[in-house]
Structure 1
Amino acid sequence: MPSASGASSSPAKCRNHILALLLVTVATGLPAEAQLTPPATGGAAELDLVLQRLTESRRLLVVGAHPDDEDTELLARAVRGSGADAAYLSLTRGDGGQNLLGSELGVGLGLLRSRELEAARRTDGARQFVTRAFDFGYTRSLEETLERWPYDSILKDAVRVVRRFRPHVIVSVFSGTSRDGHGQHQMAGRIAHDVYDVAADPERFPELTDEEGLAPWRALKLYRSTRFRPEPTSQPVPTGGLDPRDGRTYHQIAMASRSMHASQDMGRIQDVGPDSTSVGLVDDRTGRGADSLFAGVPQAHVWLAAVADSLRRSVGPAVLPSAVAPLNAALERWRREGGDLDRDTLLARAIVTAAGVAIDVRIDAERVTPGATLRATVQLHNTGPHTVQIDTIRLVLPRGWPAAADAAAAELGPGAALLRTLTVRVPEDAEPDQPYFLRAARIGDLYDWSPVSPETRGLLFAAPRMVGEGVIRVADGPALGIRREATYRVGDQAAGEIRRPVTVVPRLSLRLEPSELVWSLEGAAEHQLSVTVTNMGVGPTEGAVTLSVDGWGDDHTARFALEREGDSRRLTFAVRRPPGAAEGVYPVRAVAA
């Protein structure tokens, strides 16, 4: 039985789906959920969290195959309990899994599960990385997996993550042997064990150094997770302790994080009481680290850790601003000594939080089209007792976009607020937003990251396009950057304030119906196909839609005129099957111009 299809091979349907996925993805591509909430300083809990991070310089990387393979107890304990910087590297986005929530599969499911990953990391506080691997489904062996995934390509992506994140300890969720079951699990285990050595070898993947500035990195310890199969030599990691900022135990936080994988039926009970996870030591380059996860790994920046620890003990919720002066002094010393950007950023974040400075950035439209003119509102509020000097306020825009003029310098006294309005012109050639890993067609079972900058590769989503940034000084201290993504704000009579991401969309949206058509050779020679064209821009637009069926000869064209944003018109085309058409699949294409 032949079929004429507008499914995945149909550009019209693909265009519609790209737009639909785009609107989901930009919402999930935010650096933090807080960006879609009203502005706030974070208060005492945020300051304590940042200070704790400044007391701990050691980093942990967990490596697995799929989004829900991670050990959330280990991550929550490291971040919330120790203040360590921890991350999870999932080889895939989980595109080949099942879906408890809806009908999304393949790329759509990968997008949904990427959002779940983001929510999980937001809960336990760790970072998230991925490789180019597309989850093509279950395999029975490593050999079968290697038929679909080029090993060196996945290894290179893992090396990129290790050289960028620079973990001192790597934990492999899997052993890399047949005991892991799923071939992709075996692959993840093998990658984790190999990257421990390869990331430190300057002869391997030198282009990461030459082209991306990522120097070789030598992790000091390698572990394998034994949480499901404890061994006599396993090291327990207690997770029943309390996070005083949150009021829950690390185990409870981990179970809340685990429950974010809703599409995979991963909801978990948050029991109280003693609990733990465990790891087994595979290799220790320190020679003295068998007792615990970070044992033998030296602390760096001892003086800074001492300052932060002292402030944690002395600064309570009622006296947060008293931390500003010692933090200003610490940041000035850090910069004099040529300290790294990560801790520079943490110190600046601590100062802004202690001082009680909040920033908000709003755009006057939720969906914008090429050529549109936008109004951006940037607001700074000084809730604390210190004077805040504002050096600049500006919008950070994509390369090629006309720069919005910086607002003039100003001074904010205690309790004062400042509001500036900037104009943004979206270029006529601005590309619509879409996930960075979908900008180019997949190469086999690998996503193609070539269209994007190196700093984006390996992240769940690219950084937001429009960000408001202020350069400020608190109490005559050093210059600090304070940033927030530009969002669209609406007031809902039932829900109150709602924040939504700002997305660039095409001027026109097309929907082809039916999306698939089974056409019997013995049935009617003619069928009706329709294309709904919608105006996504502000002003009137007109043009023509051309419908074609590959290999069937004549194109069909109909004109449209749309007066305002949101207007739609449904165009109907009578398509005749040519004489002698053979059985097969025929892509249907709809193009508006």
Structure 2
Amino acid sequence: MKRLLCAAALTLAATKIHAQDRGAAALGRLVDGLGMTARVLVIAAHPDDEDTRLITLLAKGRHAETGYLSLTRGDGGQNLIGNELGEALGAIRTEELLAARRLDGGRQFFARAFDFGFSKSAEETFQHWPHDSVLGDVVKIVRAYRPQVVIAIWSGTPADGHGHHQASGIIAREAYDLSADTVRFPTATYGAPWAVPKFYRSTSYRGNQGATLRYDAGRYDPLLGRSYAEIAAESRSQHKSQGQGGLERKGPSIVSLRREASRVNAGTPAERERDLFDGVDTTAAGAVAACTGTASIGDSLTAAIRDARRAFDAFHPETLVAPLVRAQRLVAVCAGTNDPRARLVGRRVNDALLLAAGVAVDAEAPREVVAFGDTMPVTVTVYDRGTLPVQVRVGDSSATIAPDSAAVFRRRVAAPTTGGAWWLARPRDGDMFTVPVDVRGEEVASRPPTERVDVTVGGAQATLLAPIVYRYADAVRGDVRRPLVGAPAVSVTLDNAVEYARAGVPFARDVHVRLRSASTAPRDVTVRLELPNGLAADSAARRVTLPRYDAQADVAFHIRGTIAAGTHAIRAVAESNGERFTNGYQLVDYDHIRPQRLYRVAETRLSSVGVTLPPKASIAYVQGVGDNVAPMLAELGLPVTMLDPAAIASTDLSKFTAIVIGQRAYEASDALLAQNPWLFTWVRNGGTLVVQGGQAEMQRPGVMPFPIVVAQPTQRVTHPDAPVTVVDSTTSVLASPNRIDATDWQGWVQERARYLPRSYDSTYKAPLSMADPGEPPSRGALLVAPYGRGTYVYTTLSLFRQLPNGNPGAARLFVNLLGAKASNGGAGTTALKRRR
């Protein structure tokens, strides 16, 4: 007989499993939820938009299969834990969402929209995201997932603020209205139609105003040992790149919803509803009866589930096997249908059987990386930690395992054919990814290689997918498990994707080609550089031997010459055993997420800029948030010293002509706040302090020499091509040592400026004016003021995005800021005395 559960799986993450997802707690939850088939889809725009309290309450408290669909992967935000931005940041935030879902019990989906940065309206957002394309993605996911309830986090109105939020609120309602429309969304492309029964909007973020349903996520769950709100706080704290860590508070925690549309119970006013699922059949019996047309089978399933609940004994889980076997056989009659409710019951029975039988699996590889086209030996160990014998099959081998015993299987597995972030396999088209959405969900799309283990217990079969991991002991972290990944036999990378050079000035630089082997055999590798006109290397080729897997080599070339202004490319090519290698990967690795490998061509885009440097410049740099500006300044020929905020007082600052504070550094560093008086003293003695933008922290006493006001919502100029007008030509910062003109404002990315002050002290000169279309101009993007004998510069221009992107005009402007000298007339002196 064809078994419904042949495709079901209990997939274990390559990270440690939390206590609530193991043993009696996990088994108790599964048994308690066997009869529930509700499916909910929550829709919003970004990672961190989701209401983790709502997801946890529904997934763990109500046993509803609850998915979160984010239109973007958060690529356009800032990064509080590293300097990755753009698509690399999107990979981090994707994994942070998956880490959150592993805690709160939800599933994760994504549309193909690229987070291009802050937007002020839905109309502006849809200029970047083709409306029908994003809507089509959501319809595909809705039709595949078949939720009974869709919940929009955002209202779809200007009250949502961010244009992405508004767009997600609009798209969510349109998907509800149109997911059954086969004319606009043909079945062949978008899947079988599905009319979602009910549509709600969250009111939790709006103070519960207009709510028709309220739930207490603070309710304590004795099996989990915590409330759903506590678990949700831990889930939200996985958004570490966004600084979303919070306290896990006990006590009441209200989440609320407003029903906006319903295809069931239409005669019942929303205000009189008692539950989210009123009018919807969420029972397992109903699912089986619907797929078979026989009510008696549904009644029998109800009885089997009731018996399983009665049989549950946390200390004797084997008592559950018999009723679970009966439940499995009853659900199997729906094997030929595509009813997601029956599949959900089947998965839960499958997973409960494995837990009740005490089956555990380790699939271990001898190393982490295997070369594309190669194979890897894997040891699969299946443990019977229960009280009943089990039969297992791994590949073509099988064994019977007695209680408290194990069986070992030796396998060879092929390397994964792809690696890294799957949605980056093809280049973007504008602000849309071009790889189609994966309607199975991100847990499946990003799942590492697994070994399938078929387990037979009590006459029923269950299936487990065990991730293949490289496992080792770390002296600090203990048991570390890294998922198996594929890579080129020889990975080739250059240090940077973008670098600067000065046009027409003699160029001399070491270029490092980094090689990494994934091959089990030694390899002789020849490395060459492909250089633009005007540059030559000290050697046509270098040869190196990579003796074994994971061997690395740094091959250095010294490049000299003179290069014209413009954008050029430096490429590295490696040859070994008759093969040509031009790709490598960037490893993105943080403790709270699974490691990611972002593959790219071994190429450095060289931005050659016509720029004059300030004479005798010496720069100190305090790194900010998501900040990779300092290396770019060094590439332009400026001597740059990285300055630890805690060491400012003990450092001889007199040797520096300028000190730069990275964006949001005052927010990120208490030490910088404490050391700020030393910086002010240094400025008064003649230095130039360049501070890149912050938020409300810039209004704190003692942070800036003269006050500013950063109002909420913060002012932004989000159009990267917004017109810029020079309104104060007397400010030398736009004239020396480089004259800034209209060409320097071309080619900016994502935005012009963010967190612009609404008002500022009259001591500041504000030479620039800019605005998005239809808005009044703002002059707060660049402020320059005298302070004693020195100069204070505050800029909210998004230079931290422009320089790593190789923008020549932004580089010229930044160099000017480093040499800024304000007029130290009477106004500045009077202001200084007044504020001391």
Q: TM-score, normalised by structure 1?
A: 0.85
> Could you report, residue by residue, the CA deviation over 1:288-310 in whole angstroms, capped at 9, with x for unpaired residues?
46222112212332343553344
Correspondence for 2:282: 299
- How many Å apart are 1:211 and its aligned residue? 5.2
- How many Å apart are 1:543 and its aligned residue? 3.2
Structure 1 distance, partners of 2:179, 2:123, is 24
1:142 and 2:104 correspond: no
Structure 1 distance, partners of 2:512, 2:179, is 54
1:328 and 2:325 correspond: yes
Partners of 1:542 and 1:559 within 8 A in 2: no
Matching residue within 414, 417, 421 for 2:403? 414
Q: 1:42/1:567 Cα in 2 relative to 1: closer, same or farther (>3 Å)?
A: closer
SS at match of 2:502: coil
Matching residue within 385, 388, 394 for 1:386? 388
1:575 and 2:564 correspond: no
> Could you report, residue by residue, the CA deviation over 1:467-486 in whole angstroms, capped at 9, with x for unpaired residues?
211222112x2222222111
SS at match of 1:67: coil
- How many Å apart are 1:318 and its aligned residue? 1.8
Highest CA radius of gyration, 1 or 2? 2
> Could you report, residue by residue, the CA deviation over 1:299-338 in whole angstroms, capped at 9, with x for unpaired residues?
3323435533443344121221111001101111221354
Structure 2 distance, partners of 1:516, 1:463, is 28
SS at match of 1:132: coil
Correspondence for 1:60: 40
Kindly provide the amino acid, as one letter, of the partner of residue 222 in structure 1: F
> Could you report, residue by residue, the CA deviation over 1:118-171 in whole angstroms, capped at 9, with x for unpaired residues?
111111111111110110100111111111100111111111111111111111
> Could you report, residue by residue, the CA deviation over 1:426-453 in whole angstroms, capped at 9, with x for unpaired residues?
4xxx645121101111111111215x9x
Partners of 2:218 and 2:251 within 8 A in 1: yes
Matching residue within 531, 543, 547 for 2:513? 531
Kindly provide the amino acid, as one letter, of the partner of residue 377 in structure 1: T
Partners of 1:380 and 1:418 within 8 A in 2: yes
Matching residue within 189, 202, 212 for 1:225? 202
Correspondence for 2:213: 235
Which structure 2 residue ranges, 5 or more long, are not aligned?
A: 1-8, 286-298, 576-836
Q: 1:32/1:122 Cα in 2 relative to 1: closer, same or farther (>3 Å)?
A: farther
Structure 2 distance, partners of 1:32, 1:257, is 19
- How many Å apart are 1:348 and its aligned residue? 1.4
Structure 1 distance, partners of 2:223, 2:79, is 34
1:312 and 2:309 correspond: yes
Structure 1 distance, partners of 2:567, 2:169, is 40
After TM superposition, the structure 1 = structure 2 runs for residues 72-83 of structure 1, keeping only pairs within 5 Å, are 72-83=52-63
Counting aligned pairs with the same residue, the percent is 35
Kindly provide the amino acid, as one letter, of the partner of residue 249 in structure 1: S
Matching residue within 252, 258, 269 for 1:280? 258
Kindly provide the amino acid, as one letter, of the partner of residue 533 in structure 1: L
Correspondence for 1:35: 14
SS at match of 2:282: coil
- How many Å apart are 1:80 and its aligned residue? 1.3
After TM superposition, the structure 1 = structure 2 runs for residues 467-478 of structure 1, keeping only pairs within 5 Å, are 467-475=450-458, 477-478=459-460
> Could you report, residue by residue, the CA deviation over 1:390-438 in whole angstroms, capped at 9, with x for unpaired residues?
3x212xxxxxxxxxxx21x322222222111122354xxx645121101
> Could you report, residue by residue, the CA deviation over 1:35-69 in whole angstroms, capped at 9, with x for unpaired residues?
33389992211111212331211111111111111
More off after superposition, 547-556 vs 364-373: 547-556
Correspondence for 2:463: 481
Partners of 2:37 and 2:345 within 8 A in 1: no
- How many Å apart are 1:493 and its aligned residue? 4.3
After TM superposition, the structure 1 = structure 2 runs for residues 149-298 of structure 1, keeping only pairs within 5 Å, are 149-206=129-186, 209-210=187-188, 214-229=191-206, 230-287=208-265, 288=268, 290-298=273-281
SS at match of 1:203: coil
Kindly provide the amino acid, as one letter, of the partner of residue 388 in structure 1: V
Correspondence for 1:21: none
Structure 2 distance, partners of 1:145, 1:512, is 35
Structure 2 distance, partners of 1:482, 1:521, is 60
Partners of 1:174 and 1:189 within 8 A in 2: yes
Number of paired residues? Answer: 539
Kindly provide the amino acid, as one letter, of the partner of residue 35 in structure 1: A
| CA root-mean-square deviation | 2.6
Partners of 2:38 and 2:282 within 8 A in 1: yes
Structure 2 distance, partners of 1:357, 1:571, is 49
More off after superposition, 76-85 vs 477-486: 477-486
Structure 1 distance, partners of 2:64, 2:425, is 34
- How many Å apart are 1:84 and its aligned residue? 0.8
* Higher-RCO chain (CA-CA 8 Å, sequence separation at least 6): 1
More off after superposition, 153-162 vs 291-300: 291-300
- How many Å apart are 1:573 and its aligned residue? 3.2
More off after superposition, 540-549 vs 89-98: 540-549
Q: Which runs of 4+ in 1 moved over 6 A?
A: 30-33, 38-41, 553-556
SS at match of 1:194: helix
Kindly provide the amino acid, as one letter, of the partner of residue 418 in structure 1: A
Correspondence for 2:426: 440
Which structure 1 residue ranges, 5 or more long, are not aligned?
A: 1-29, 395-405
Partners of 1:531 and 1:570 within 8 A in 2: yes
- How many Å apart are 1:525 and its aligned residue? 5.0
Q: 1:567/1:353 Cα in 2 relative to 1: closer, same or farther (>3 Å)?
A: closer
Kindly provide the amino acid, as one letter, of the partner of residue 246 in structure 1: L
Partners of 1:548 and 1:554 within 8 A in 2: no
Matching residue within 367, 370, 393 for 2:369? 367
Matching residue within 3, 28, 42 for 1:48? 28
Q: 1:319/1:375 Cα in 2 relative to 1: closer, same or farther (>3 Å)?
A: same
SS at match of 2:81: coil
Kindly provide the amino acid, as one letter, of the partner of residue 450 in structure 2: V
More off after superposition, 436-445 vs 360-369: 360-369
Kindly provide the amino acid, as one letter, of the partner of residue 264 in structure 2: T
Q: 1:332/1:432 Cα in 2 relative to 1: closer, same or farther (>3 Å)?
A: closer
Partners of 1:92 and 1:130 within 8 A in 2: yes
Structure 2 distance, partners of 1:576, 1:271, is 61
Structure 1 distance, partners of 2:384, 2:201, is 48
Structure 2 distance, partners of 1:38, 1:83, is 19
More off after superposition, 488-497 vs 191-200: 488-497
Q: 1:332/1:521 Cα in 2 relative to 1: closer, same or farther (>3 Å)?
A: closer
Correspondence for 1:84: 64
Partners of 1:363 and 1:502 within 8 A in 2: yes
- How many Å apart are 1:501 and its aligned residue? 0.9
Structure 2 distance, partners of 1:146, 1:352, is 47
SS at match of 2:328: helix
Structure 2 distance, partners of 1:197, 1:522, is 60
Partners of 2:203 and 2:211 within 8 A in 1: no
Structure 2 distance, partners of 1:139, 1:492, is 44
SS at match of 1:228: helix
More off after superposition, 88-97 vs 362-371: 362-371
Q: TM-score, normalised by structure 2?
A: 0.61
Structure 2 distance, partners of 1:466, 1:506, is 17
Partners of 1:33 and 1:122 within 8 A in 2: no
Kindly provide the amino acid, as one letter, of the partner of residue 362 in structure 2: D
Structure 1 distance, partners of 2:51, 2:130, is 26
Structure 2 distance, partners of 1:32, 1:352, is 11
Correspondence for 1:18: none
Q: 1:203/1:363 Cα in 2 relative to 1: closer, same or farther (>3 Å)?
A: same
